[in-house]
Amino acid sequence: MAGYARPELLVDTDWLATHLDDPNVRVVDADYPLSFARAHIPGAVGHLGPNIYLKTADGETFMMEDATFAQTMERMGIGDDTTVVVYDSHQSLYAARFWWMLSVHGHRDVRILNGGWHSWIAESRPVSLKPAAPRSVTLTPRRNDVIRATCDLVRDAIGRSDSVILDVRTDAEWTGANDRGNKRRGHVPGAVHLEWVNFMTNDDRVVFKSADDLRTMLNERGVTPDKNVYTY
């Protein structure tokens, strides 16, 4: 995975093809259940949708409690020592969310299939309709709050010269044209905007852009290595 600052967070289709039968690897299809049912990578386990690890209370959306999250992952065959490879067909949007959720719960070996389902299909790789074989595993949540920001933390960062708040939502959400069901429109004061799709290539491969390309793009918006970055 040349060209990336953290290549260990990604795998390519060649790597995955040679590890499909590895008992320590669990492949996760992060698409919606109907997409998974139509076809998926052999041995992949599906889930109940991109928001299975979230809960809603009083109109607000939060992360699951640790115990509930662990039980959900265990049902999918993901344990403490499992190498997890996650993919989707939405430019890695849902795969990245799944990666983040496992990472914030302290899982140390979760990776995204660079290029996702579309790259797998474009290369005529094998597909399956069979459900994944169950596994008996244990996941121990170890919450890593270093990579998670609270509202108070972001609020305190507004206007600080050592911090930058990055809004990666759609243009319509940024301008307030689309409220996405929220009570209020608009964006965090002082935030800079860069829609998440800009982090992906716009060719047929749809992989993550190189570290050099990302640095250039982010530097142009003031998102530099010397600053604390808060993204939403």
Confidence of residue 61 (pLDDT cuts 50, 70, 90): confident
* Residue 62, C-beta contacts closer than 8 angstroms, at least 6 positions apart: 54, 55, 56
Percent of the chain with pLDDT over 90: 85
Domain ranges of the chain: 7-141, 149-231
In one letter, which amino acid is 174? W
Which candidate, 142, 163, 9, 123, places its Cα nearest to that of 69?
Answer: 142
> Hey, do 7-141 and 149-231 end up sharing a CATH topology, with the first three levels equal?
yes
Mean pLDDT of the 96-102 span: 94
pLDDT at 55 (0 to 100): 66
Which candidate, 207, 229, 208, places its Cα nearest to that of 218?
Answer: 229
pLDDT at 136 (0 to 100): 96
Which candidate, 22, 165, 30, places its Cα nearest to that of 99?
Answer: 30
User: What is the CB-side half-sphere exposure of residue 94 using CA atoms within 13 A?
Assistant: 22
215 to 139, 204, 209: CA distances (angstroms)? 35, 22, 10
Q: Dihedral of CA 41/43/48/49: which sign? A: negative
pLDDT at 56 (0 to 100): 64
pTM comes to 0.93
Mean pLDDT of the 25-51 span: 90
Is 213 strand, coil or helix?
A: helix
Q: State yes or no: pLDDT of 73 exceeds 70.
A: yes
pLDDT at 53 (0 to 100): 65
Token pair belonging to 120: 């797998």
Q: State yes or no: pLDDT of 57 exceeds 90.
A: no
d(CA 201, CA 218): 15
Domain 7-141 is of which CATH architecture? 3-Layer(aba) Sandwich (3.40)
Q: What is the pLDDT of residues 134-163, one digit of tens each?
A: 999 999 999 998 899 999 999 999 999 999
pLDDT at 44 (0 to 100): 98
Q: State yes or no: pLDDT of 49 exceeds 80.
A: no
Domain 149-231 carries which CATH code?
3.40.250.10
Count CB-CB contacts under 10 A for residue 49: 15
Token pair belonging to 131: 């459900």
Higher pLDDT, 45 or 63: 45
Span between the terminal Cα atoms of the chain, in Å: 27
Higher pLDDT, 214 or 2: 214
Q: State yes or no: pLDDT of 106 exceeds 80.
A: yes
33-42, 55-64, 103-112, 167-176: which range is least confident on average? 55-64
192-193 sheet: strands from edge to edge: 192-193, 163-167, 228-231
Q: Dihedral of CA 206/207/213/217: which sign? A: positive
